[in-house]
Structure 1
C-alpha cells in the first residue's frame, strides 16, 4: 500500500498546492436538488468528488455527517470512498473521525478504516495515551493527532501548562508524536488549527519535518497567506464548507469546482 505521505508529496508537488478538500455534508444545508434525490448524501458527495478532484491534494470526509443517518449514511460514506479511489486514486483519503479509545477498541476502529474502507489516514485523539494510538500504526495507517484545534475553546485544555517542563499541553503532544514517529516513520502527523498562525509557526520551528493537518481556513476565518508562511510545505490546509457549500443552486458542483480552482490558484502563488 502506498503511504499517505508518498501520495501527498506526489500530489502536492504536481499541483503546487496544499489544498485538502473537506467533505462535511450537513443534511439540512444541502442544495434542494440533493434533498429531492433518492439519496441526498450520495448525490451531494458524488457531485463534489467528480467536479473538484482536479484540485484536491487530499480528501478529508468527516464521518459524523454520515453516521447520523445510520445504514443510509454508512452506505453513502463507503460509496463515496469507493468513488474517490476510482476517480482519483492518486489523491490520499484522510478520514476525519477523531477516534480515541482503549487499545482493544482502537484495534477495531483501525481495522474498519484501514482494512475495510482502506483509507490512507485518520484523525485521532491522543488523550488516552500511546497505547491507544499503536493499533492504527501497527496496521500501517497514518494518523493525524489532535494538537491545537481551531475551535474557540481549544485553550481550555490544550493551552494548559504541563508541570514537567512548562510546555503547553499541545506542545508536549507534538513532542511525543515526533518521538512516536521515530518508531513509525511517515505515519504520524499533527492537527493544528489555522486560526493559530503564530502557534503554527512556533510548532514548525520546533518540528521542521512534522506533517500538519490545518483545518480552520475559509469558513472558520483562517488567513491563507499567514497559514502558508507559517506552515511551510509539509502541511495540508483544509477547506470544507468554503468550497463544497459555496452554492445551493442546481449547479453547485460547478460552483464548487470554480471555488476549488480559486483556492488552488491562490496556493500556487504562495507556493515556493
Structure 2
C-alpha cells in the first residue's frame, strides 16, 4: 500500500470505528515532564512510550512535534525515532502525523521527504507553503501526505495569513487553501490543510470552500478552542489535536493513567458530537 492512500485509509477506519476525531499530540517539553520521566535514563523515551501505551486506545492519529526532540541533538533524534517505532508497534492502525512544519527549496524538501516518509515511515507531515509549489511537490512525488499551514492558531497568525490580496477580496490563507485544493487535484488524497481551532468561523468558511479536504486542527484544549464549535464547523474530515491538555495533565508517577483518563474524556465528548 502506498503512502498516498495509506494516511486517508488508516485515519478513516480509525475515525469511524472510534466515532472520534481525536489526534493526540506529543509536545514533550523537557521542563514540563513528570519527575519519574526526568529521573529515567532517557526522559523523552520514557515519557513518550508511557503516553503512547496508555492513550493509544483513544487516538485516531498521533502528532509528535519534532522540535521537542531536536533540542537534545543526537539523543533527541534517538528518542524521536524510538517514539515512532513504539507508535508503529503498539498501534500500527493509528496514522502518525509528524509535526515538523518543513518548508524549503525543492532539493532540500526532497531530503526531508526521504527522512520522514522513507526512513521513519510516518504517514503525514506538516509543511510550510511560503516558498511555493516546488517546495511541496517532492513530498507528494514520494507518495507522502502533507498538511499545509493555512490559518494557524497563534495570535500573530494575522500578521501575514489575514492580509488581503491586492485587487481581490480574499485573505492570503484563503488563496493558500485554493492553491492547495488545485494541487490536490494533481495529487489526490495527499494534500490537507492546517487550520487553527481558535478560528471556528474561518474553519466553517474553509469547509464550505473545500468540502473534500482534510483539516488538521490544533488549538483545542490548552489553546482555548471550543470542541463543539470546531466539530460543527469542520465536519468529519478533520483531525482535532489535543497535546498538553492530555499528555501533560499530571506530574505524578501515574501520569500515564491520568493522560488515559483525559483522553477518554475527550473521546466521550467527541462520541456525543460525532456527526
Query: What's the TM-score once normalised by structure 1's chain length?
Result: 0.99
What SS does structure 1 have at the residue aligned with 2:155?
coil
Structure 1 residue ranges, 4+ long, deviating more than 6 angstroms after superposition: none
User: Deviations 1:28-55 (Å, cap 9, x if unpaired)?
Assistant: 1100000100000000000000000000
Q: 1:45 aligns with which of 36, 43, 48?
A: 48
Partner of 1:250: 253
Q: Name stretches of at least 5 consecutive residues in structure 2 with no aligned partner.
A: none
Q: Name stretches of at least 5 consecutive residues in structure 1 with no aligned partner.
A: none
| Cα distance in 2 between the residues matched to 1:34 and 1:84 | 18
What SS does structure 2 have at the residue aligned with 1:154?
helix
Partner of 2:106: 103
Q: 2:209 aligns with which of 202, 206, 210?
A: 206
Query: What's the TM-score once normalised by structure 2's chain length?
Result: 0.98
Partner of 1:184: 187
What SS does structure 1 have at the residue aligned with 2:154?
coil
The answer on 1:172 being equivalent to 2:175 is: yes
Partner of 1:139: 142
Q: CA deviation at 1:163?
A: 1.7
Q: CA deviation at 1:164?
A: 4.7
User: Deviations 1:128-184 (Å, cap 9, x if unpaired)?
Assistant: 000000000000000000000000000000000112522100000000000000010
User: Deviations 1:197-248 (Å, cap 9, x if unpaired)?
Assistant: 0000000011111100000000000000000000000000000000000100
Q: 1:264 aligns with which of 262, 267, 271?
A: 267
| Cα distance in 1 between the residues matched to 2:206 and 2:73 | 38
Count of aligned pairs: 272
Q: 2:161 aligns with which of 158, 161, 184?
A: 158
User: Deviations 1:38-83 (Å, cap 9, x if unpaired)?
Assistant: 0000000000000000000000000000000001100000001001
| Cα distance in 2 between the residues matched to 1:167 and 1:44 | 43
The answer on 1:195 being equivalent to 2:184 is: no
